[in-house]
Amino acid sequence: MIPALDLEDLRFHHPGQPRPFIAVERLTLAPGERVLIHGPSGCGKSTLLSLVTGIRPLQRGDIHIAGEAFSGLSQRRRDAFRADHMGVIFQAFNLLPYLSALDNVALTPAFSPRRRQREPGERASAALALLRRLGLDETVARLPAHQLSFGQQQRVAAARALFGQPELIVADEPTSALDSGHRDGLMRLLADQCERGGSALLMVSHDPAVAPFFHRSLAFEDINRAARHAA
Amino acid sequence: MLPRIILASLATRKTSAALIVAAIALSLVMILGIERLRHQVHANFASTVSGMDLIVSARGGPTNILLYSVFHLSEPPAGIEWRTVEHLAAHPQVKWWIPIALGDFHRGFPVVATNHGYLDHYRYGRDRPLELATGDWFAGPDQVVLGSDVARRLGYQPGTPVVLAHGSGGGPAIIEHDDHPFTVSGILAPTGTPVDQGLYISLQAMAVIHSGGRYAYPVPGRPAASDKPDTVNAVMLGLKQRTAILGLQRELSRYDGEPLSAIIPGVELQRLWRMTANVENALRAAAVAVFLVALLVLISTVLAALEGRRHELAVLRAAGAGRGTVYGVIVGESLCLTLAGCATGLLLLFAAQQILAPWALMEWSLRLPTHLLAMAELPLVAAVLLAGSLAGLLPAEKAFRNSLADGLTPRS
């Protein structure tokens, strides 16, 4: 079976620092597997995710996503590959505030014909169906994103990441600004929809309470050898 | 999707967008306005010498001859003898001829002494003949025909008595020929040329009023009955064949009777424009400088906005947007702003033309253009659009780098 994510011997130095900030020997996610990495704020979890998504250039190491040598791709190919195979959810500032919820979701198929094909029906109706599955009706979907509540915004962000069933969803503290009720609601939806679309989920959080929604839960300091050496 | 992102994003920054649009619009108004004014002034001057093949005068500088004879902008040199005029009139190549004698003024407006040939043969614009708005062309030595501006400014009607003065238009040394009052016989229709600023009397009348003055008439004390003055300042010629112009010009420069200069008005006008080209270029350079300032405003505003758009661009990047999309968003925004600036500028200029047209015609005898955008101006507008779009490249590259560096780490 081809893993959804397989990263090997990953190193990241901040410029001018002698010791690596991140050093991960191996991290593998099976297709559809949900893995939580938890740890305190500022320990490098977000940096790890920006390396996985290819938004920050990789200094050393190999990343395979859905069997593709992601880290070997050119910048342009990496951008296209991310659009095709990855969904990304942030902690905040997830949406383009001036676009409607629907248009925010439709960003994904706009950048990836592949994921557009993987959702049945016309682009807008597919986006609407997905929003409905996440508990947002059409009235809400047509509102500009800045008029939505924070919880609604996170669900729209989840819908955009889930659209077209990408192999890997990467989430950076998506629940940190939510109260525990909304947090569990969003996690349940996210877990269900990942299950349904067969997407693997790699999420980082400082909140261990979300662990029950994952197959595996790892402490960042356990996988980051750099942190161990520093200690 | 891209246009929707650009427009929606711009809509959230309406004030700065409106300021950029205004800056670009105003600079386009300057660039195009100067071009159009220049073109129109050239066209107006050219329209004044429409159909005129040669102007013959006493020997002198060609530019001076053009300026005084047609535009009344310079002092006329000594006259040419009437028998020379008769020689020209009888020349086989000459189709029509208009003698003019200058030197008198009425309240600052030049008096042109001529004959019926002026009304018959003078052409302006695209070969349009002169027409009388009211009344008739002068029929005797005591009648005067007014250009439309003269009549309008001074409020004269046919029948109004007019006293002419000798000298340069309004200084203290003028001699009023008040012993020879004129009556307005007719008023010319507006032409948008210096014709509108002239008063027209017969050569005979000119001779009579000067009979006791500087240009003594040959038979003192006897009122002139002859239509033949002793001298005129210039003769405008229309030839039967335009191919004969250069030949006749050469022939007249070797004329035995007296030293003559024959100028081709179109050629002299070109020479005049070459002389004024420096000033025109300076104006153009100023307009381009204003446009460059507008571009810098555009660049700096777009750059400044990037700070607030970090998250927006990071979201786009995370959703799969590559360099092309980020460039598309930023450069597209610059293009939109420039496009809106150009459209606003064109409309502003169009409106200004409509509003100022009557005034410019009255005050300067200048016909303003009435078009929104001429084909010939398309390259200029295209260059402005291109420059505006290119101005987005620097912020676009910075945005692309920023969105990479910011990555997924949200900062509030």
Cross-chain residue pair B1–A83, CB shorter than 8 Å:
no
Confidence check: pLDDT of B47 > 60: yes
Question: Is the Cβ of B5 closer than 8 Å to some Cβ of chain A?
Answer: yes
Percent of chain B with pLDDT over 70: 89
Is the pLDDT score of B408 beyond 60?
no
pLDDT of A182 higher than 60: yes
pLDDT band (50, 70, 90) for residue B342:
very high
Per-residue pLDDT, A37? 94
Q: Say if CB B217 and CB B204 are below 8 A apart.
A: no
When pLDDT is cut at 50, 70 and 90, the band that residue B158 belongs to is very high
Give tens-digit pLDDT for B108-137.
Answer: 888 999 999 999 999 888 888 999 999 999
Cα gap A188→A194, rounded to integer Å: 10
Neighbours of A192 (CB within 10 A): 13
Number of Cβ within 10 Å of residue A208's Cβ equals: 12
Q: Give B306 or B189, the one with higher predicted confidence.
A: B189
Kindly state whether B278 is in contact with chain A, defined as any CB-CB distance less than 8 angstroms.
Answer: no
Structure tokens at A159: 């819908």
Count of alpha carbons within 13 Å of B220, Cβ hemisphere only?
5
Dist. CA A209–CA A184, nearest whole Å:
9
With tokens 């990789």, the residue in question is A58
CB contact under 8 A, B1 and A55: no
Quote the CA–CA distance of A223 and A70 in Å, as a whole number: 21
B216 or B235: which leads in pLDDT? B235
pLDDT of residue B217: 39
Burial of B187 (C-beta count, 10 Å sphere; 0-12/13-18/19+)? buried
Name the residue facing B319 among A57, A75, A107 (closest C-beta). A107
Interface test with B, best of A22, A79, A86 (most B CBs within 10 A): A79
pLDDT over 70 at A152, yes or no: yes
Q: Which of A55, A92, A112 sits opposite B317 (nearest CB)?
A: A55
CA distance A223 to A227: 9
Q: Do A111 and B320 touch (CB under 8 A)?
A: yes
Tell which of A14, A50, A65, A115 to mutate to test the B interface (max B CBs under 10 Å). A50
Q: Which of B312, B320, B410 sits opposite A82 (nearest CB)?
A: B320
Q: Is B4 part of the contact surface with chain A (CB cutoff 8 Å)? A: yes
Helical packing angle, B323-364 and A75-85, nearest 10°:
110
Three-state DSSP state, B343: helix
Dihedral sign from CA coordinates of B214, B217, B220, B221: negative
Are the Cβ atoms of B5 and A47 closer than 8 angstroms? no
Among A57, A93, A98, beta carbon nearest to B8: A98
pLDDT for B231-286, tens place per residue? 889 999 999 988 999 999 999 989 988 999 999 998 998 888 888 888 888 988 98
* Window B:314-353, CB contacts with A under 8 Å: 314-323, 325
Q: How many angstroms away from the CA of A61 is the closest CA of chain B?
A: 19
Spatial neighbors of A133 by CB under 8 A, at least 6 apart, are A189, A193
Average pLDDT, chain B: 84
Q: What is the mean pLDDT of residues B326-349?
A: 93
pLDDT of residue B214: 37
Q: Give the lowest-confidence range in A6-10, A18-22, B405-409.
A: B405-409
The model's pTM is 0.73
Contact A98 B321 (CB under 8 A): no
The beta strand positions in B84-122, using DSSP E, are: 94-106, 109-114
Taking CA atoms, A103 is separated from A126, A156, B37, in Å, by 12, 10, 48
Q: What is the pLDDT of residue A15?
A: 82
In this structure, what token pair is assigned to residue B384?
């402005």
Instruction: Note the pLDDT tens digit of each residue in A35-82.
Output: 999 988 878 888 898 889 887 888 889 999 999 999 889 888 888 899
Q: Which of A53, A79, A106 has its CB closest to that of B321? A: A79
Please report which confidence band the pLDDT of residue B220 belongs to, taking 50, 70 and 90 as the band edges: very low
